[in-house]
Amino acid sequence: MGEPVRLFQSIAGLRCFLERSRLGKKVGLVPTMGALHAGHLSLIEQACRDNEIAIATIFVNPLQFGPTEDYQQYPRTLEQDLQLCQQLGVAAIFAPTAEELYGNHIPSSAEGERLTQVVPPTTMTSVLCGRSRPGHFQGVATIVTKLLNIVQPTNAYFGQKDAQQLAIIRRLVADLNLPVNIVGCPIVREQSGLAYSSRNHYLTPEEKEQATVLSRALKQAEKIFQSGERQGISLLNAVKEEFAAVPEAQLEYVELVHPKTLKPLEQVEEAGLLAIAARLGSTRLIDNFILRHRRPIVAIDGPAGAGKSTVARQVAQSLGLLHLDTGAMYRAITWLVLESGIDIGDECAIAELTSQAQLQFSMDEVSETVLRVWINGKEVTQAIRSSQVTANVSAIAAQAAVRQALVRQQQRWGQTGGIVAEGRDIGTHVFPDAEVKIFLTASVQERARRRQQDLKSQGQGEFSLEQLQHDISTRDTYDSTRALAPLQKAADAREVNTDGLSVDQVTQEIVSLVRG
Ligand code: AMP
């Protein structure tokens, strides 16, 4: 176990800790209301994996509770929460009093107008939970903005369990240009399907059993969605029918909305958020599924030399998907930088150039294997393979602004699915919701052997296996520990070890995983 977790209740204490320890390090923030359960822990684990410093906040925020809601009864288990955070490697917990954050006037959402509040668009706050919880999302937006300003994290983690909250926070961060990356994490469920929630504490054993209707109803709707039903009315009816069989569970709402804008949908085009709230006795529970209708995204990550790009190209070809050659994107930007005469080290000018660059890809209709690349309307398919581009591409790809702009671009292409992408953090960062995630590996010995053969067949001479093994191990360590886009295996990735397998065999294995 590393350093003991530090507990701060004051903003001054936390700021002092951060100022002394953060220099050049990534800071991950996980805002919670405590009573930590497996859902929270998955967010905290992710924050500890992605950042050198993980901070969890534990604060039952009075501003987001209505006058008749459970602010007083909300479970508070600070001792146990501290221990759990300690075990996971959290650096510090921020557990302020309401006075520390709101001064000596502790607001309820009814009197909240006395504070400066963050008010997200009404289209997002008046639907779903907003109907029965007026002021709730203003309270959430305000506390999250305060915590982001206090901690100034690199990444902040929120659960998909609170899908409306996540969509509103993403919008808030985009609208106000807050300098933080918002990471959405999948819903963690008990074996029964019930989503973990601090409010599950309130349920009697019978109610807990009855509460499984929430996930069961969503699953039923997903089933008919998978078999081709796209109409909202039918999907909502499927949920209502399941609820009809459990009269103890009072359905407060079931709605189908766009996952990002939260605008009501009559039918699902690319994706829909099917969300419900229901009461069991006096306990209010929420749950949701994202229904996605798109061709699959296949994310292939793994260490250098595992054969990712060859395999990705073949998998894409076999499945009729586009191989999103991210390397070609970085090459195209490098070509543009060289062409414009900007100094390779002038990161700010390159950031400016990249953010305005228009990239286009298409599959060559004749060969169907060559990806054609355009930048700012000019075809550069051949030009990006020049030795000058090759010599400079890694320096350009190491620049944070270039990477950010290209990841955003990749995600835009991914919206409609139908791509195979390979890299170091495709399954964890670029497409965390990819349908199929592969972690392609091979032993250091095997990769050294392959590299030796490649070098020989390219006429580059004989290299000793020991030397190549040493180089590959050094590269592995660098790739896994570097600050920008380190190699990461997604928790839900399937590991494929390619030792002793041909490219065709690996391709077949992945293709059959995609076809399910
Ligand atoms: P809360 O303490 O309820 O404010 O939750 C803190 C964070 O944990 C929020 O971002 C929630 O969305 C997230 N969270 C709560 N329950 C779950 C769950 N079952 N799975 C994943 N994330 C969750």
In which element (H, E) is residue 362 found?
strand 359-363
The count of other CB atoms within 10 Å of the CB of residue 34 is: 21
pLDDT at 267: 97
Please tell me which of 243-247, 346-350, 372-376 the model is most confident about, judged by mean pLDDT: 243-247
Query: Which of 199-208, 337-346, 358-367, 378-387 comes out lowest in average pLDDT?
Result: 358-367
Q: What is the pLDDT of residues 436-476, one digit of tens each?
A: 999 999 999 999 998 888 888 878 788 899 998 998 888 88
Q: Name the nearest CA neighbour of 98 among 85, 111, 88, 83.
A: 111
Residue 370 is which amino acid? V
pLDDT at 237 over 70: yes
Q: Whose CA is nearest to atom 7 of ligand 1?
A: 32
CB 34, CB 76: distance < 8 Å: yes
pLDDT at 364: 66
pTM of the predicted model, to two decimals?
0.86
Q: Name the nearest CA neighbour of 210 among 168, 170, 247.
A: 247
Q: Determine the distance separating the centroid of ligand 1 and the alpha carbon of 122, expressed in angstroms.
A: 23
Residues with CB under 6 A from ligand 1: 32-33, 39-40, 42-43, 158-159, 161-162, 185, 187-188, 195-198
Q: Whose CA is nearest to atom 11 of ligand 1?
A: 159
> CA 385 to CA 332: how far, in whole Å?
9
Phi, psi of 68 (to 5 degrees): -105, 10
Q: Give 111's pLDDT tier (boundaries 50, 70, 90).
A: low
Residue 515 in tokens: 């076809």
37 assigned to active site: no
Instruction: Please tell me which residue, 326 or 60, carries the higher pLDDT value.
Output: 60
DSSP 289-346: EEEE-SEEEEEEE--TTS-HHHHHHHHHHHHT-EEE-HHHHHHHHHHHHHHHT--TT-
Phi, psi of 412 (to 5 degrees): -65, -45
Q: Give 296's pLDDT tier (boundaries 50, 70, 90).
A: very high
Instruction: Please tell me which residue, 450 or 171, carries the higher pLDDT value.
Output: 171
Of these residues, 40, 136, 323, 429, which one is catalytic? 40
